[in-house]
Amino acid sequence: MCGLLGILTAHSDAPRFVGPVADALPCMRHRGPDEDGTWNDDDVVFGFNRLSIIDLEHSHQPLRWGPTDQPDRYALTFNGEIYNYVELREELQAAGYTFATSGDSETIVVGYHHWGADVVTHLRGMFAFSVWDSAEKVMFLARDPFGIKPMFYATTATGTVFGSEKKSVLSMSEAIGLDTSLDDRAIVHYTDLQYVPEPETLHAGIRRLESGCHATLRPGDAVTPVRYFRPDFTPVPVPAGSEDALFRRIADALEDSVAKHMRADVTVGSFLSGGIDSTAIAALAKRHNPDLITFTTGFEREGYSEVDVAAESAAAIGVEHVVKVVSPEEFAAAVPKIIWYLDDPVADPALIPLYFVAAEARKHVKVVLSGEGADELFGGYTIYKEPLSLAPFDKVPSPVKKVLHKIGDALPDGQRGKSLLLRGTTPMEERYYGNARSFNYEQLERVLKIARPEWDHREVTAPIYAQSRNFDPVARMQHLDLFTWMRGDILVKADKITMANSLELRVPFLDKVVFDVARTIPYDLKISHDTTKYALRRAMELIVPPHVINRKKLGFPVPIRHWLAGAELYDWARGVIEDSQTDNIFNKSEVLQMLDEHRVSMNTGHGPDHSRRLWTVLAFMIWHGIFVEDRIHPEIDEKDYPVQL
């Protein structure tokens, strides 16, 4: 787990960029405080910050390797972990290759020499890496199937810069002549969705290599991504009475994944909330580490903490448990620092408690496991029940649907049945675009001066929906979430916020072997018996404590709807809005009115809850104050941890 930065120059003048690359490395030192270094030839400069997890004394990067007749032909920078590196090493050794280290990094470059671009299909893990072939003058960039690890890039006439953090690429902007203007369309998408969808960033000249993609380029080339992973949900019918075989396959795949994810030369812990996902991971991890430590967080406000349930689960599976309770004051003070770490804002308040529990965990361990991805793979979101509730509308003729939609549209807001009529008469491609819609278009126009009708969610989701025409309705929703909500929100905060604390987070559910089982689960075994993730719950019955099996998902809930209306955050939010220099983007008077409407609603019990919409705007304004106005200067801690923990 590390931070990489590199440049492939267009004119074989790489030595002049060694200084700019070295100067940019400190801004992502949190990703790898154990060691850093640079390497260059005439075409390439690589920079690296290392967080040592496997083969601590060796596997230094940038890593050099070559076959016997071409020593040092390749140079590698790699962020992530390859969990099947032991098996890959044995396979490659049997093919006649020798290794100088015992780590996972070397298996990538040897595998690339052996398989070429197909190496990515052999890797079981999370990764973003670059391989420079000095003999062929070719750069190969790749990112893992689900997008667990990030890769940003920018191309100018000078060359292509790529890195683990956008801020490191921005640090190279003067050296490469990069235009750092903002992307209005990306701002609209962010405000609508609560995150910036891939491959966009809020800077027009910087993009992300998408999840499940690789790119091959020569000096002077632009990055042209090639998709190698297309998640295919293909349910396999399960005869009545034979469901247990499927449940066993799920349990076996997850147990194998956790075993592989426990491979490390440092201590591995686990996050633990009150739900089935993290509890299953922790219970399986305990089998491989009897001294496992688990970590959770919460708030003092009733209804916004899973601390008690997590503690009960920890006791049931027999692990040491550490709790961090976050106060409103800590919450507000940490926001600018966290947004700096994010690179682009993500309007998910849950990343704030995640920051604090990650900081607490880093005092005890260097790696944690977590339950991200279970909902997308196994059908865990409550909204996935919607196709069942809307099924009667499938039999209604189109002309009648149009009439019903007009009736629903005419009903006053809040009228019972309005939402059902509107959603039931709206095609899935228009009504569902992930778990995170902040604004409808009327609200978006109210607050956002740069809003345009053509920049709505369908611009993001239509190409994704086009790939899932033959899937069942729940699978289509899962597939969409894999490419939107999961990689735009869930995995961004998982990577950025844990790495902010120099902590490696591993996600055993997002494993190719687990996915190969999950994608075959029939519709009626995902959403069944009035619950979600039915098959996973049945598979975990012998692993997870009974009080967790059918518990509703909460994650790390945050009481911002109350805090923004009360003494905790109202004045703070008003100050953020008034101080922000975003008048060219937002109608600030409308945002302030929305804040006051929200306060009245929460205090009277009547009216709209604007908390998520407000948080979306507030996060952007703070981001703008940091990265555009240069007005907000978060105090970033100097990371200095022992190599082994």
67 and 179 together in one domain: yes
Q: Tell me, yes or no, whether 383 lies in a domain.
A: no
Catalytic choice (2, 310, 492, 543): 2
164 and 83 together in one domain: yes
| pLDDT greater than 80 at residue 553 | no
Report how far residue 645's alpha carbon sits from residue 332's, in angstroms, rounded to the nearest whole number: 30
pLDDT digits (tens, 9 = 90+) for 142-151: 999 999 999 9
| pLDDT greater than 60 at residue 643 | no
pLDDT at 116: 98
133 and 264 together in one domain: no
Give the mean model confidence (pLDDT) for residues 458-469: 95
Report how far residue 155's alpha carbon sits from residue 141's, in angstroms, rounded to the nearest whole number: 14
Between residues 598 and 52, the one the model is more confident about? 598
Query: In this prediction, what percent of the chain has a pLDDT beyond 70?
Result: 97
Give the mean model confidence (pLDDT) for residues 310-338: 93
Query: In this prediction, what percent of the chain has a pLDDT beyond 90?
Result: 83
| pLDDT greater than 70 at residue 555 | no
pLDDT digits (tens, 9 = 90+) for 165-215: 999 999 999 999 999 999 999 999 999 999 999 999 999 999 999 999 999
| pLDDT greater than 80 at residue 560 | yes
pLDDT at 550: 77
Lowest mean pLDDT among 46-60, 527-541, 562-576: 46-60
Order across the sheet with 504-506: list the strands.
320-325, 293-298, 268-271, 367-369, 504-506
Q: Write down the mean pLDDT value for the chain.
A: 93
Q: What is the number of residues in the chain?
A: 645
Three-state secondary structure call for residue 8 = strand
Nearest to 278 by CA among 265, 295, 292, 261: 295
Q: Tell me, yes or no, whether 235 lies in a domain.
A: no
Q: What is the CATH number of the domain that holds 46?
A: 3.60.20.10
pLDDT at 1: 62
Q: Tell me, yes or no, whether 456 lies in a domain.
A: no
191 and 141 together in one domain: yes
Q: Tell me, yes or no, whether 357 lies in a domain.
A: yes
36: left (phi over 0), alpha (psi -120 to 50) or beta: beta
CB 358 within 8 A of CB 498: yes
Give the mean model confidence (pLDDT) for residues 307-316: 89
| pLDDT greater than 60 at residue 222 | yes
CB 546 within 8 A of CB 286: no
For every residue of 458-518, DSSP letters joined together read HHHHHHHHHTTTTS-HHHHHHHHHHHTHIIIIIHHHHHHHHHTTT-EEE-TTS-HHHHHHH
pLDDT classification of 549: cutoffs 50, 70, 90: confident
Q: What is the CATH number of the domain that holds 316?
A: 3.40.50.620
| pLDDT greater than 80 at residue 640 | no
| pLDDT greater than 60 at residue 384 | yes
Give the mean model confidence (pLDDT) for residues 244-249: 97
Would you state the structure tokens that stand for residue 182, as one six-digit string?
């903002």
pLDDT at 366: 95
pLDDT at 58: 77
194 and 253 together in one domain: no
Q: Count up the domains in the chain and report the number.
A: 4
pLDDT at 177: 97
pLDDT at 552: 67
pLDDT at 638: 78
179 and 60 together in one domain: yes
Q: Domain ends where: 167, 195, 227? A: 227
Give the CA count within 13 Å in the CB-facing half-sphere of 346.
26
Q: Tell me, yes or no, whether 464 lies in a domain.
A: no
Report how far residue 274's alpha carbon sits from residue 180's, in angstroms, rounded to the nearest whole number: 43
pLDDT at 35: 87
Lowest mean pLDDT among 54-58, 263-267, 287-291, 500-504: 54-58
Would you state the structure tokens that stand for residue 390, as one six-digit string?
């809307």
Q: Residue 2 catalytic?
A: yes
Strands 159-163, 74-82: pairing kind? unpaired
Between residues 450 and 309, the one the model is more confident about? 450
Lowest mean pLDDT among 104-108, 386-390, 492-496: 386-390
185 and 102 together in one domain: yes
Helical axes 328-342 vs 491-499, angle rounded to 10°: 100
370 is in an annotated binding site: yes
Between residues 57 and 10, the one the model is more confident about? 10
285 and 308 together in one domain: yes
Q: Tell me, yes or no, whether 347 lies in a domain.
A: yes
Query: Is residue 174 classed exposed, middle or buried when 0-12, 13-18 and 19+ CB atoms within 10 A define those classes?
Result: exposed
pLDDT digits (tens, 9 = 90+) for 135-144: 999 999 999 9
Report how far residue 519's alpha carbon sits from residue 227's, in angstroms, rounded to the nearest whole number: 19
pLDDT at 581: 98
333 and 248 together in one domain: yes
94 and 30 together in one domain: yes
Task: Measure the CA dihedral 48/98/66/224, to 10°.
Answer: -60
pLDDT at 303: 67
* Structural domain boundaries enclosing 585: 560-627
pLDDT digits (tens, 9 = 90+) for 63-121: 999 999 999 999 999 999 999 999 999 999 999 999 999 999 999 999 999 999 999 99
167 and 24 together in one domain: yes
568 and 545 together in one domain: no
34 is in an annotated binding site: no
Give the mean model confidence (pLDDT) for residues 290-300: 92
265 is in an annotated binding site: no
pLDDT digits (tens, 9 = 90+) for 14-51: 999 999 999 999 999 999 998 899 999 999 999 999 99
Q: Tell me, yes or no, whether 457 lies in a domain.
A: no
Report how far residue 512's alpha carbon sits from residue 254's, in angstroms, rounded to the nearest whole number: 11
